[in-house]
A and B are shown apart, each in its own frame.
Chain A
Amino acid sequence: MVELILFVVLSTVVIGGALSMILGRNPVYAAMGMLATLFGLAVIYVIQLAHFVAVVQVIVYAGAVMTLFLFVIMFIGVDKAQSLDEGLAWQRPAVLGVVAAILAMVGGLVLSGRWEWITADRVALSGQVIEIPVPPNGTIESIGESLINRWLLPFEATAVLLIIASVGAIVLAFYRPRRLQSVGDDAE
């Protein structure tokens, strides 16, 4: 019961945030909507007993990534309202077509009785009723244990990835096109 209420509330928050993000004129308002979505998702993770993921979601995604986004929005100066005009002809119809196709696919699945492909409902697959298993407890200990024992290589690889990304970001930040640099020197 509790879960149902929670689900309804949270899904409203999440979807509302998503919609305001894509429909908002002002990028800052869109970022706010995105934040709402991220928080909502974090709560959903807690419901799913993925505590660590939830915390990391808040800290990293909502905390660092969105902050970075806001920085760049301010920096570039698009914090004013943007137009929602569509420059490319056929873009809206095309997107409409793609969405329709996706919905048709899903509808096709449902209609042909393969609902369990989407839901992975064990009941329908094997004919036996199986208990919905208790989701594992995603505490730091269990995550850490799994990380170091089973997923060590990807773990180290992501460390390398982060270094590369940092280096890349720094290079891009300090990059000045030659011409501008020389003009700058001459001017001085």
Chain B
Amino acid sequence: MKLFARGCGLSQLPYTARAEDLSIRDRFEIEAHAATCPECAAALREVHSVDAALRSAFAPLRERRATLAPGRVRLALNSRRVERSTLFRLPRVFGRLAEVSVMVGVTLFVIGGSVEYPQSVAPQQPRSIIQDYFRKQPPTDEIDYFRWLRLNRTESAMVVSDPVRFPDGGRYDFDLVEPVRAPTASPR
């Protein structure tokens, strides 16, 4: 006993028949079958309207065309070939590495703030008696000698006269030198 009607086994055929490259004989057989099978006839009628709507809707889209030339493909192929070449890529990598190194160095310098060796970690060299002895000896060369004098000033050399000069009895403690002008040829 059948509880449910199973329907025609060919009911899918009308839906797909339009998409298939059927021969005239096959088409005739489907139409002949639809003439006797109400289910397939209804399916054929249903799919006709949907098929027409779809063909009409896709018609303007079928007119769309690409504006590409085959040169774009060759360009894509060549660029990929260049990208894959290790020989071309290697100098670029090293150049970039150098750039990054310089950038990192400059950044660290800016953050660190000075090129001097930090005083806290400056090496404490032991004092040498021999070096002290030779440092106290006057050099033989004239220029070095003056430099030595300037750098090794003794206490007596550091004594200077009073820089503030006060007038004494209305006069300065030295005579002011009047500038003497040369006689001119002026009639006055």
Do A and B assemble together?
Answer: no
Partner-B contacts on A (CB < 8 A): none
